[in-house]
Structure 1
């Protein structure tokens, strides 16, 4: 009889294989729940505003303990990340539930790459749209990412704001795992008037509205990154990933710089192939069995 394997914690998945004591880490958007602690090793905290501003912004947010917000070391906004760090480079970057918010995904990845020491890597925690309020939104396609990069987006674009506002819904993760959700039975967070209002605010005033610009499942994330690698838009390979666990709503991906285009593309193809794609409400073994049966009949 084999011994029971203890599940990895979120922190263990995110930081697996990293030597925090002897490496310089950078955490983006830690707010009041940092994964990197100064007691564990040197760390630079980066956010879009300084600590005082963040405490004022979130003072009435019940989900944020303003007294626990980290002391921000570098503010990354109109400047580049390298400028924000004063030219310093780091050994690894950690970002939890950040990548889906950035207006220009390609530019953001390039800036992360610019601050990494040789052998460095980026660790991401990414929400899985199939079990979050993004449930009814379509997964991000390469054309949307290219458009955002083409216009040099510094704020979420009007079409993104409209898509977000008319489609995000009050989704319970456990319910989404049990069975497909009825789009007519799930309450929406916003309405068309709100969607058009924030889109017009962006168009006319350049206003920033914090939304999920990008929508992923593990497989669609890998597909998008493979396509970007094939087009020569990124030089990050997939180092490792932890798939979304049942009754959970996030997955973990490690990005490693690579100058080998073919290996970079292949690394994302491997993730795309290995990522589970079982439908909510169906046991995983039935999905795989049905897939094998279909293949055998072809």
Structure 2
């Protein structure tokens, strides 16, 4: 499995901001999970989310965001099931979406079915080294394969997300400053709280990061899924995380 990993200076679409030009280059675009801050806007852009436009606006008000920044949501499924979408697109975009997927294989395959021939999947993905996932190990191909068919996150990932996540300031992580005062001493209490939260959900979905990636580990997982014939989408562009940033970008396609 030959690596296609490239440094950020060699490729385009390096940053989230650069995705804003995609609607000018593509015939039709779908963005998954825009909430109040879509990567792209335009007459040829459609949006999918787990809440309706009105529900997202109410949520934005509750958390102190401007509800007027919420785009009109064209497709809704509260369980994130992309099969409700009855159209195809020349491009699909997601930003900080795939790390939440209980079944990553299903997600990739659902996106593939939404793409026109020659279509591309553009992704913005958090780099676990420079965000609050710093102390959680990178995900493995084995874990992705074992999660096939899952619809919720396991208790372990809820505990990790609640107990082991740290601050989310990228520049501090780049400088080697990974914890706030009292972080280590409060791990046990946060873990107990996570167990209680999981139990109270009574089998329902608890939204946490299921997956942790670096650019290299992401490539290894996708190459493994390709080799196992689980996923047809292939990485055609993979950019390193820009200095003092917390996210990297990738472009996937199928032939």
- Which of the five TM-score ranges fits, normalised by the shorter chain? 0.7 to 0.9
Q: Give the RMSD, CA atoms, in angstroms.
A: 2.5
CA contact (8 A) 1:100 1:126 kept: yes
Shift of 1:67: 2.2
Closer/same/farther in 2, CA of residues 184 and 142 from structure 1, 3 Å limit: farther
Partner in structure 1 of residue 19 of structure 2: 14
Partner in structure 1 of residue 29 of structure 2: 25
Q: Which moved more, 1:98-107 or 1:20-29?
A: 20-29
Picking from 212, 217, 222, the partner of 2:219 is 222
Q: Where has structure 1 moved over 4 Å in runs of 4 or more?
A: 182-190
Shift of 1:59: 2.2
Larger Rg: 1
Structure-2-length-normalised TM-score:
0.85
Structure-1-length-normalised TM-score:
0.74
How far apart in 2 are the matches of 1:22 and 1:247? 30
The answer on 1:42 being equivalent to 2:44 is yes
How far apart in 2 are the matches of 1:81 and 1:182? 37
Return the structure number with greater relative CO, CA threshold 8 A, min gap 6. 2
How far apart in 2 are the matches of 1:200 and 1:74? 31
Aligned residue for 2:61, secondary structure, equals coil
The answer on 1:71 being equivalent to 2:87 is no
Partner in structure 1 of residue 7 of structure 2: none
CA contact (8 A) 2:16 2:124 kept: no
The answer on 1:101 being equivalent to 2:100 is yes
Aligned residue for 1:251, secondary structure, equals strand
Partner in structure 2 of residue 163 of structure 1: 160
Shift of 1:231: 1.2
How far apart in 1 are the matches of 2:38 and 2:30? 11
How far apart in 1 are the matches of 2:13 and 2:232? 29
Partner in structure 2 of residue 57 of structure 1: 59
CA contact (8 A) 1:15 1:123 kept: no
CA contact (8 A) 2:27 2:90 kept: yes
Closer/same/farther in 2, CA of residues 19 and 67 from structure 1, 3 Å limit: closer
How far apart in 1 are the matches of 2:147 and 2:237? 27
Partner in structure 1 of residue 8 of structure 2: none
Shift of 1:101: 0.9
Within 5 Å, which residues of 2 pair with 1:187-202? 191-202=190-201
Q: Gaps (5+ residues) in structure 1?
A: 1-6, 259-298
Shift of 1:172: 2.9
Closer/same/farther in 2, CA of residues 58 and 209 from structure 1, 3 Å limit: farther
CA contact (8 A) 1:96 1:126 kept: yes
Q: Gaps (5+ residues) in structure 2?
A: 1-11
How far apart in 1 are the matches of 2:30 and 2:180? 40
Q: How many residues align?
A: 242
Shift of 1:43: 1.2
Aligned residue for 1:58, secondary structure, equals helix
